[in-house]
């Protein structure tokens, strides 16, 4: 299931992020926005994402998981598993 998220800027809904398996920002609009800025699901349900801060948190968590997986694979390779 994929979802595009947008923010209201000058009364217009601007796409800011996309989630499909993972989540990421689609442009640099988010850089100037506070964590509490509300985001709106454009083409599906919010699924727990309601603010720019929620998106940033989800990106941080997915990157942390990827880093842990890479480290685990590196250790397994080193010890011959």
In this predicted model, what pLDDT tens digit does every residue of 50-71 receive, in sequence order? Answer: 999 999 999 999 999 888 788 8
Q: Which residues does 25 contact at the CB level (< 8 Å), separation at least 6? A: 16, 17, 55, 59
Q: Three-state secondary structure along 14-52?
A: EEEEEECCCEEECCCHHHHCCCCCECEECCCCCCCCCEH
The pair of structure tokens assigned to 51 is 């603010």
Q: What is the mean pLDDT of residues 29-58?
A: 95
pLDDT band at 40 (very low <50, low <70, confident <90, very high): very high
In this prediction, residues 11-17 reach a mean pLDDT of: 96
Reduced to 3 states, what is the DSSP secondary structure of residue 68? Answer: helix
Give the pLDDT band (50/70/90) at residue 42: very high
- Phi, psi torsion values for 19, nearest 5 degrees: -125, 125
What ranges do the domains of the chain cover? 3-79
């Amino acid at each position: 299931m994929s979802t595009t998220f947008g923010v209201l800027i000058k009364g217009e809904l601007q796409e800011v992020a996309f989630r499909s398996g993972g989540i990421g920002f689609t442009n640099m609009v988010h850089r100037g926005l506070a964590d509490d800025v509300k985001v709106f699901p454009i083409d599906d349900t919010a699924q727990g994402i309601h603010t720019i801060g929620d998106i940033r948190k989800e990106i941080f968590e997915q990157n942390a998981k990827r880093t842990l997986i890479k480290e685990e694979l590196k250790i397994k390779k080193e010890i011959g598993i």
